[in-house]
Structure 1
């Protein structure tokens, strides 16, 4: 098993500190290794080291990532920017993800969070309400689907 694979398994197993140690060595030895950079960003996020994750995400995104890795890196970077209060960068990053992966529902949810942070509460609610209707098979939601969709972009309207 390669060191990279070992680090990934440690990360998925919740052994973040051990994974981080291996990944930092790998990114220093192989600075062009996109997967190692991406995994290093993720493990920093897992450890609550969001600010330290940013340069690894940005470096990974400049490399040749797989589709799934690129999707994860854009979501991770957008979410990380949001958590450190860099809302404009978060919005731009998540919009890039939405453009590239429009059916990846997670981008819509994280995008609504950053819209909320930017004070765009009505738009954030609209996105979430539409996603709830779209993704839910709960009978009560299904029963009120038309009403939820109707009000989704009129959340602040008084009748």
Structure 2
């Protein structure tokens, strides 16, 4: 791991204690060390803005990071975080579309369950309560040692008119 990544990770490790503004400033200082089109730096800039509650400012950084070929493991994180940002910007349908595309392309991605959780939140925000619960239950069922089959069946039978 290079020194830059170690310093970024150290900022995030201290973020809860440092607070939003100090974390944003520290990440921005590190981002400034990299080229303007550096996908990882753009991703970190986006995350810092999200952390500081500046979702509208975070969105273009996420999009730029993805457009510049952000590698894994950060790409999956950026997609989930961008979807969450879109949801927080009151654009749940756009969030859900992004997550559906991600899950359709990579259903076994390590962040697939997180994507499904955010999809459930987006469905809920978009007024599709039964679909939201169904999504959450489908994500949960494979992790149940017992009753996974039953939970899956009950989720399938949920009434969309809730």
TM-score by length of structure 2 reads 0.81
Displacement of 1:62 in angstroms is: 0.6
Does the alignment pair 1:21 with 2:22? Answer: no
Question: What's the C-alpha RMSD, in Å, of the aligned pairs?
Answer: 2.4
Match of 1:10 in 2: 11
Worse-superposed segment, 3-12 or 62-71: 3-12
Partner SS for 2:70: coil
TM-score by length of structure 1 reads 0.82
Match of 1:60 in 2: 65
Match of 1:151 in 2: 154
Unaligned runs of 5+ in 1: none
Greater Rg by CA: 1
Does the alignment pair 1:95 with 2:96? Answer: no
Displacement of 1:31 in angstroms is: 1.2
Does the alignment pair 1:42 with 2:47? Answer: yes
Query: How many residue pairs align between the two structures?
Result: 153
Report if the CA contact (8 A) 1:112-1:124 is conserved.
yes
* Stretches (4+) displaced over 3 A: 1-5, 15-19, 25-29, 144-147
Which of 92, 113, 116 is the matching residue for 1:108? 116
Following the alignment from structure 2 to structure 1, what is the Cα–Cα distance between the partners of residues 55 and 131? Answer: 26
Unaligned runs of 5+ in 2: none
Match of 1:80 in 2: 85
Following the alignment from structure 1 to structure 2, what is the Cα–Cα distance between the partners of residues 61 and 52? Answer: 15
Q: Deviations over 1:77-99 (max 9, x none)?
A: 00110012011221122122212
Does the alignment pair 1:133 with 2:134? Answer: no
Following the alignment from structure 1 to structure 2, what is the Cα–Cα distance between the partners of residues 40 and 74? Answer: 14
